């Protein structure tokens, strides 16, 4: 258990470190601005009017400042609306148009590809790299440079490799982001596996406890019942016989309650049984504890449910049927499970005297059912009429289905 928790923690830490990529791209912007000032000082940049030079350098300074001061907010905004990165590409394009392909800010256009590498998956990042490379090529044309002039300046190699560099940057920054996503998925799977291991451990302990109770307490009570029966047969004292009868009734009730506990403990071995099996066992307990006539209807193919989801659905079912036995004064109880390709709907319907479903003070059991359904991303609707009550739980199949389950659309009926 501790090993799994340690692996999950390390995976989440590595995923959190991805924020440093965004910080690195901002540092790259500042370094490029500093380099541009150096090139300007040594007059190694194309000669431009002073107004344009001041406008370009000032805009880069304020742009970098905004990206640095509000980096967290901008990163979150870009993760939510990823294609806003095209605004960054447009800003780089403007810098290239202002100075031309020999601009001191040519390498600055790499920064938008760096940020995109953190945000996009492997496919999307190459679209951004292509868009940035195209913007660079367009800026060359806008500035009036023809292919013949580039050949004449003996700059073909550098010019072509600059196009290729955008894709190298895309690979360098997108692959760590891709690995981080895989780590995030692995951490989620490990978390789910840890939850299932915990549930399996609890189920194994419940089974052991049920067997121990059956072999010790239940057998002892059964033996006491036999001895009380034998004692009554040979008892000549009427008063003592009555006391023995009362003792026998109390012992029988205790044995019945112990058997109910044992059944419930066995029922809660969710990992070993389907929802249908547990529903059958639940209704069998209902018939044992009451005079209710029960029926079970299963429509569609039951998926392989996540262990926690199956437990929640079964606990909702047990709570709903228990309420019918305790409060409904009903004669019949029907449980229906509808498994479609999109949803799972569990209905518990009785013909009892109902209750006021609109009251503010709902019982703890009703609140628990609603809470469990909400935890599964579903709903629990209760319709109480004078002629009976229906409890309908609806959840998305995709949210409660195990990762190993393949989607199915086959429907059938099993009563």
Q: Identify whether residues 183 and 282 lie together within a single domain.
A: no
Q: pLDDT tens, 34-88? A: 999 998 888 888 788 888 889 999 999 999 999 999 888 888 888 788 888 889 8
Residues β-bridged to residue 346: 337, 393
Q: Identify whether residues 165 and 287 lie together within a single domain.
A: no
CA–CA dist 81, 78 (Å, integer): 5
Taking Cα atoms as reference points, which of 350, 375, 247 lies closest to residue 295? 350
Contact 392, 346 (CB under 8 A): yes
Among 110-119, 313-322, 325-334, 374-383, top mean pLDDT goes to 374-383
Q: Identify whether residues 154 and 280 lie together within a single domain.
A: no
Q: Does the structure show a pLDDT above 50 at 186?
A: yes
Where residue 352 falls among pLDDT bands split at 50, 70, 90?
confident
Residue 360, in any domain of the structure: yes
Q: Identify whether residues 184 and 286 lie together within a single domain.
A: no
How, if at all, do strands 343-350 and 388-396 pair? antiparallel
Residue 234, in any domain of the structure: no
Number of domains making up the chain: 2
Angle between helices 307-323 and 156-213 in degrees, nearest 10: 40
Contact 98, 142 (CB under 8 A): no
Angle at 204 between CA 201 and CA 210, to 5 degrees: 140
Q: Identify whether residues 25 and 136 lie together within a single domain.
A: yes
CATH number where 382 lies: 3.30.565.10
Q: Does the structure show a pLDDT above 80 at 165?
A: yes
Residues β-bridged to residue 390: 349, 383
Residue 222, in any domain of the structure: no
Give residue for tokens 């299963």: 298
Query: Which tokens belong to 220?
Result: 């002892």
Cβ neighbours of residue 287 closer than 8 Å, sequence gap 6 or more: 293, 294
Q: Identify whether residues 164 and 297 lie together within a single domain.
A: no
What is the model's pTM?
0.44
Angle between helices 85-99 and 122-142 in degrees, nearest 10: 20
Give residue for tokens 């057998």: 219
Going by the DSSP 8-state scheme, the letter that residue 185 receives in this structure is: H
Residue 236, in any domain of the structure: no
Q: Which pLDDT does position 210 carry in this prediction?
A: 65
Residue 81, in any domain of the structure: yes
Last residue of a domain, one of 164, 193, 222: 193
Domain span at 403: 273-415
Q: Does the structure show a pLDDT above 90 at 394?
A: yes
Residue 215, in any domain of the structure: no
Residue 370, in any domain of the structure: yes
Residue 403, in any domain of the structure: yes
Q: Identify whether residues 376 and 281 lie together within a single domain.
A: yes
Last residue of a domain, one of 163, 193, 223: 193
Last residue of a domain, one of 152, 174, 193: 193
Q: Identify whether residues 36 and 182 lie together within a single domain.
A: yes
CA–CA dist 167, 144 (Å, integer): 25
Distance in angstroms between the alpha carbons of the first and the last residue of the chain:
41
Q: Which pLDDT does position 334 carry in this prediction?
A: 94
Mean of the per-residue pLDDT values of the chain:
78
Q: Identify whether residues 282 and 179 lie together within a single domain.
A: no
Q: Which pLDDT does position 336 carry in this prediction?
A: 95
Query: Which tokens belong to 161?
Result: 């490799």
């Amino acid at each position: 258990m501790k090993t799994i928790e340690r692996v999950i923690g390390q995976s989440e830490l590595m995923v959190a470190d991805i924020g440093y990529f965004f910080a690195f791209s901002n540092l790259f912007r500042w370094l490029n601005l500093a380099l541009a000032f150096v090139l300007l000082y040594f007059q190694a940049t194309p000669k431009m009017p002073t107004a344009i030079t001041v406008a370009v350098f000032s805009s880069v300074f304020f742009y970098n400042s905004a990206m640095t001061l509000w980096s967290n907010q901008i990163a979150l905004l870009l993760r939510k609306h990823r294609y806003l990165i095209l605004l960054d590409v447009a800003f780089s394009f403007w810098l290239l148009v202002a100075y031309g392909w020999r601009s001191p800010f040519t390498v600055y256009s790499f920064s938008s590809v760096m940020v995109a590498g953190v945000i996009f998956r492997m496919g999307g990042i190459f679209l951004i790299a292509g868009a940035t490379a195209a913007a660079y090529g367009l800026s060359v044309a806008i500035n009036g440079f023809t292919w013949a002039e580039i050949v004449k300046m003996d700059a073909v190699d550098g010019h072509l490799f600059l196009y290729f560099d955008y894709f190298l940057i895309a690979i360098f920054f997108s692959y760590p982001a891709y690995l981080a996503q895989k780590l995030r998925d692995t951490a989620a799977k490990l978390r789910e596996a840890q939850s299932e291991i915990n549930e399996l451990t609890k189920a194994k302990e419940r089974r052991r406890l049920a067997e121990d109770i059956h072999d010790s307490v239940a057998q002892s009570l059964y033996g006491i019942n036999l001895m009380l029966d034998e004692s009554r047969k040979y008892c000549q004292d009427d008063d003592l016989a009555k006391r023995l009868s009362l003792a026998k009734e109390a012992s029988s009730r205790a044995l019945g309650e112990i058997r109910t506990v044992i059944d419930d403990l066995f029922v809660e071995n969710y990992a070993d049984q389907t929802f249908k099996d547990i529903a059958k066992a639940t209704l069998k307990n209902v018939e044992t504890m009451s005079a209710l006539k029960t029926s079970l209807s299963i429509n569609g193919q039951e998926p392989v449910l996540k262990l926690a989801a199956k437990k929640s659905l079964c606990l909702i079912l047990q709570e709903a049927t228990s309420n019918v036995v305790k409060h409904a004064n009903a004669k019949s109880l029907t449980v229906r499970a509808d498994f479609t390709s999109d949803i799972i709907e569990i209905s518990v319907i009785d013909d009892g005297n109902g209750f006021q479903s609109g009251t503010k003070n709902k019982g703890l059991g009703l609140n628990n059912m609603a809470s469990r359904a909400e935890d599964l991303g579903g709903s629990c609707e209760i319709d109480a009429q004078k002629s009976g009550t229906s409890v309908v739980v609806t959840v998305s199949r995709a949210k409660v289905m195990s990762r190993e389950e393949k989607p199915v659309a086959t429907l059938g009926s099993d009563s």
